[in-house]
Amino acid sequence: MNNKWTRLLLCVVAAGLTTLCAVAQDDSGSNSKSEVRNVTGCLTKSGNGSEYRLTADDGSTWEIHENNAVNLAAHVNQKVEAKGVVSHETMHNMKEDAKQMGHDTGMKKDTAEHGHLKVTNLHKVSDSCQ
């Protein structure tokens, strides 16, 4: 009887250590979605006020709000390179992970990234979006 309890205890300890190792693994893939981004694409005005949209060359789209760091209005309908960080990064990462899982299972065809970008630096690449 004592031998059965010892085996059971060893199985529980092994399962616990396996779980602990899985939780402790570095998830650097998810973190990369929220780091500083350099996005090149076409900047257009979106809606009213200070809302803009950056459609990147890779198909991703980014909503941008005017801020004191950059003059977005001066670059409307131009190809630009924007540097900034993803806003609401935790929610953004969860959404992008869910889209990727849907794509992996064949449920979703389009995996183009969409998010909100807080731009800290912007410069013109060309005078038009073509």
* pTM score above 0.75: no
Q: Which two tokens stand for residue 11?
A: 């199985």
Q: Which residue has the higher pLDDT, 11 or 129?
A: 129
Q: Which two tokens stand for residue 122?
A: 């912007």
Sequence-ordered alpha helix ranges (H) in the chain:
2-24, 28-31, 89-104
Q: Which two tokens stand for residue 45?
A: 């005005």
Q: Which two tokens stand for residue 65?
A: 């709000």
pLDDT score of 48: 77
Looking at every residue in the chain, the average pLDDT score rounds to 76
Domain count of the chain?
Answer: 1
Instruction: Quick: pLDDT tens for 27-64.
Output: 444 445 557 888 899 999 987 788 999 999 988 888 88
Domain membership of residue 6 (yes or no) is no
Domain membership of residue 21 (yes or no) is no
Instruction: Quick: pLDDT tens for 74-95.
Output: 999 999 999 988 875 655 556 5
Radius of gyration of the chain, Cα coordinates, nearest whole angstrom: 22
The domain that holds 104 is classified in CATH as 2.40.50
